Structure 1
């Protein structure tokens, strides 16, 4: 897909989406090259505690209660936040797309059984369920990813089911059946590619939700104690907000900007994949 393709023309019309992509690219670069960008160990007590921002060379964002460099914490926290957001979203998509495709394609009692199973997970508030799951399996990156994926897949399943219920009646599916194609091949090569547009848009929004969930869990003390994250940094600052406001401000801004950027990119993807926008004037 080249930059001159219709998708990119429609995407570039949305200036907010372009700005969101720029922010995401910056966050991704920081996350990938974090060890080479950060000048200090995020866990190392390298200066005096409560050093204010821009008062000491090498510590642009100040230090926390233990004298740790906040800028290094932000850089390393980007890696954990993006990693958990991406991996948990991929796992949730695998579960949701699989169950939704089966339910929508076969219909009948299969559809009814899978949707009742989905409603069991939707009956419990997602954040409360995530807290319970992480507390049971002990806080770690793996348990947080699993918990977020478990609470995130039901909306995907419902979306994919509705798409499959509509697409399975199309002529190209009937032609594939007459040609003798197997059910898995019809699902994977005929219906699923035509249902990808809303799934892609939802995936971008799910990454933002996953980052917020991880930050909330870390804020409550349920994050991985061996990994620096933005939520952990905000949580560690809640008792010293008046004394050291910068400890919560900078990681909080990082969370807000990243989540906002992901939502803007989601809107841009929706525009780019919507071919009906081709008739609009710039």
Structure 2
């Protein structure tokens, strides 16, 4: 409850949470709010926004842009959350083994993480999706592969900081198994920075997914914001609304997640936040 009260004292975090809740509601209720198929031609091409029927206008093929944004929210959030959970699973596991075991295990796992970090993340994601083929599962896999190394290094650092603490040494002296020491004593005390970094990873994953879809590497069966921006880039001078509205959806979503992540950081790590601002 103290963390919740600390979070609510951050106006930017409350605004970000409110925006994020609106986006989640739009994604969940997309079939109700926009009952038309986002791929279906429902009007004349190039219809301007704020009209009686298509209030965000239509694209070059007469498809409803509002329907595309509503259904695209589901794709962006699903890929962002799924790829982040996969990255957390890999990163926390690798970081836990490296930080707790140390020695050769630590060296080997960190060299693997550094190997992945030598290649720019977006370039690696493009290579993976282009090689495996554009699909929802391959996008999630590619984003998870490029997102886990920072999470692994963070988890390793937290484990190395905590494994020398008195309560951890006491648990080891009492004969507790390594798995129990990790799950009951170290990991619960390391979860706050991991949670904050994971929340910010969701925003990065949404940006990567949008960029992949912009390049035509998204799932061809799913409408996404990045695809909408990419499809409208050739007519941006004649029909600004085709790219501005989905681009604004990406901007607002990423901004909301970052505001929530920063407020979470202040709420869960108050001493670290105060020292960083001092």
Shorter-normalised TM-score: what interval? over 0.9
CA distance in 2, matches of 1:202, 1:36: 33
8 Å CA contact 1:10–1:278 kept in 2: the answer is no
Q: 1:157 aligns with which of 152, 157, 163?
A: 152
Report 1:191-230 matches (<5 A): 191-230=186-225
Structure 1 position 25 matched with structure 2 position 25: no
Deviates more, 1:171-180 or 1:14-23: 171-180
Report 1:122-141 matches (<5 A): 122-141=117-136
CA distance in 1, matches of 2:115, 2:273: 41
Unpaired runs of 5+ residues, structure 1, are none
CA distance in 2, matches of 1:50, 1:70: 11
Deviates more, 1:269-278 or 1:248-257: 269-278
Q: CA RMSD in A?
A: 1.4
8 Å CA contact 2:90–2:148 kept in 1: the answer is yes
Unpaired runs of 5+ residues, structure 2, are none
**Where does structure 1 differ by over 4 angstroms across 4 or more consecutive aligned residues?**
none
Equivalent residues, number:
275
TM-score calculated relative to the size of structure 1? 0.95
Deviates more, 1:269-278 or 1:92-101: 269-278
8 Å CA contact 1:60–1:71 kept in 2: the answer is yes
8 Å CA contact 1:47–1:68 kept in 2: the answer is yes
Matched residue of 1:238: which SS? helix
TM-score calculated relative to the size of structure 2? 0.97
Structure 1 position 58 matched with structure 2 position 53: yes
The equivalent residue for 1:14 is 10
The C-alpha deviation readout for 1:217-276, integer Å capped at 9, x for no partner, is 000010100000000000000111111110000000000000001000001101111243
CA distance in 2, matches of 1:101, 1:229: 35
8 Å CA contact 2:266–2:273 kept in 1: the answer is no
CA distance in 2, matches of 1:266, 1:9: 15
8 Å CA contact 2:72–2:224 kept in 1: the answer is yes
